[in-house]
Amino acid sequence: MKSVLALVAAIAMVLGAIAVRNRMDDKPTLGGEPTRMKLTCATELAAACEAMAADDLDVIVEPASDTAERLTGLPDGARAGLDGWLVPAPWPQIVAEARQRAGRTTVLAAPSAAIGRTPVVVVAWRERAAVLERSCKTPVGWRCIGDAARAQTWKTLGGNELWGPFKPFHADATREASGLVTAAAAAVSFLGRTDFSSADLDEDAFTDWYSELERSLPPTRSTGAAAVQETLATGPSVYDVVGAFESEAQPLVAASARRGELQVIYPSPMVTADAVLAGAARGGRIDDLARLVTGEEGRRSLADSGWRVEGRPTVGPPLPPGNGLPSPGALEALRLKTKEIR
């Protein structure tokens, strides 16, 4: 009897040891399908996602285009590999339209209403913004920044020759949500309307102007938040103006020892990124995840990471009712145009 008990105890210990070893090796535990919630987040929402407290939540952060391309390429009937995607609109629509064009069925359910919003801002060094404004004869906005990029040097713009070339920044429009929304803000600023189509983007005047802007940006680019961080740490030598989401820029500028030398500009017309949750069309724990992300926990996490959430105090000018963006199709055309230029 004792031997049998010893053997049972021994087997239990070995199984326990294997389980511990597996955990240490970052391998999934033995047996059954994982039942944890899987939330994929766009880079710009990383802080909010990582702050959401839930023991059974796995968060993956990646550029919006990576998720979009994976979802677009999924064969019909395949699982999305996520329960929900928290991303600025209209990325879920971009995926839906791309799948429709390819004759594939939907992989995502209709997205939620905006859970949080953030406008596109420009962080600029005051001294240089003043020169820019004089040169453009308008408040600093994307049209002005694009024109300055065409002028190429501060000397041409009437500034100090030692400031060198004019150096704007926005995140990669072909990869990051903030890059595409900012590029859209630039296009809207140049074209003067939001209802443009791919044909408008192919007009010579826009192509020339937009090409100059995009080519003045560094070829290898970080996120808007990283660029704001970099410009605050290095001073005006690396970037003169940085386009980013307010949620990325404002907290960093406010905490910076050099905030007095900087200006956070809200270019007109105002364009916003609206964070939405798009659940997988089938399977998984979509409802639980929606309750978490669109509920109090999700709203608190978004607000704490700089997103504007209804009913919570905000700083900065009021937001317009709409996001000020063109259609998902026009945005996708702009993304392709950017790829082509580079």
Partner 1 sequence: MRTRAVALFAILAVLLSACVGLRKDESGADGPRKGCAVVDVASSPEKFELLTNLAADFNKTQSEVLEDKCAFVKIAKKSSGTAAQQLADGWQETEANGPRPTIWSPSASSWGAVVNQRLSERNQGAIVPAGARSFMLTPLIFAMPKPMATALGWPRTPIGFADLLALARDPKGWAGKGHPEWGAFKLGKTNPNFSTSALSATVAQYYAATGKQRDLTLEDLNRPEVDAFNRDVESAVVHYGDITLTFLNNWFRNDVRGTALTYVSAVAVEEKSLIDYNRGNPDGITDPGEQPKPPRVPLVAIYPKEGTLFSDNPVFILDAPWVTARQKTGARAFEAFVQRPENQRKVLSFGFRPGNPAVAIGAPIDPANGVDPAQPQTTLRVPSPEVLVRIIDKWGQLRKAARVLLVIDVSGSMGDDAGNGETKLELAKRAAIDALGQFKPEDEVGLRIFSTNLSSKEPKDYIDLVPVGPIGSQREALASKISDLIPTEGTPLYTVARTSYDDMKGKYDPTRINAVLLLTDGKNEDPRNSDLEGTLRSLRAGSEGLSSTPVRLFTIAYGGGADLGILRRLAEATNAAAYDASDPETIAKVFTAVVSNF
Distance CA 194, CA 324 (A): 7
Decide whether 189 or 231 has the Cβ nearer to partner 1. 231
160 belongs to the binding site for partner 1 (CB under 8 A):
yes
Is 136 strand, coil or helix? helix
Phi-psi region of 93 (alpha: psi -120 to 50; beta: other; left: phi over 0): alpha
> Footprint of partner 1 on residues 255-274 (CB under 8 A)?
255-258
Minimum separation from the CB atom of position 258 to partner 1 (A): 6
Q: With CB under 8 A as the contact rule, which of the stretches 16-24, 28-36, 74-82, 332-340 interacts with partner 1?
A: 16-24
Distance CA 69, CA 203 (A): 27
7 belongs to the binding site for partner 1 (CB under 8 A):
yes
Contact letters (x/-) for partner 1, 238-257, by CB under 8 A?
x-------------x--xxx
Contact letters (x/-) for partner 1, 26-65, by CB under 8 A?
x---------------------------------------
Cα 136 to chain centroid, rounded:
29
Contact letters (x/-) for partner 1, 74-113, by CB under 8 A?
----------------------------------------
Using CA atoms, how far residue 325 sits from 106, 141, 188, 196, 272, in Å, is: 23, 16, 8, 10, 8
The residue to which tokens 């994929």 are assigned: 40
Decide whether 126 or 312 has the Cβ nearer to partner 1. 126
Using CA atoms, how far residue 29 sits from 14, 19, 84, 229, in Å, is: 15, 7, 23, 39
Decide whether 250 or 323 has the Cβ nearer to partner 1. 250
Number of residues binding to partner 1, judged by CB under 8 A:
43
Q: What are phi and psi of 42, to 5 degrees?
A: -70, 155
Distance CA 303, CA 310 (A): 9
226 belongs to the binding site for partner 1 (CB under 8 A):
yes
User: Considering only residues 163, 169, 190, 210, which one is a binding residue for partner 1 as defined by CB under 8 A?
Assistant: 163
Is 269 strand, coil or helix? coil
Q: What are phi and psi of 277, to 5 degrees?
A: -110, 125
Minimum separation from the CB atom of position 229 to partner 1 (A): 7
Structure tokens at 320: 């317009």
162 belongs to the binding site for partner 1 (CB under 8 A):
yes
The residue to which tokens 């009913």 are assigned: 311
23 belongs to the binding site for partner 1 (CB under 8 A):
yes
Which residues of this protein are in contact with partner 1, per CB under 8 A?
2-3, 6-7, 10, 13-14, 17-18, 20-21, 23-26, 160, 162-165, 167, 215, 218-223, 226, 229-230, 232-238, 252, 255-258
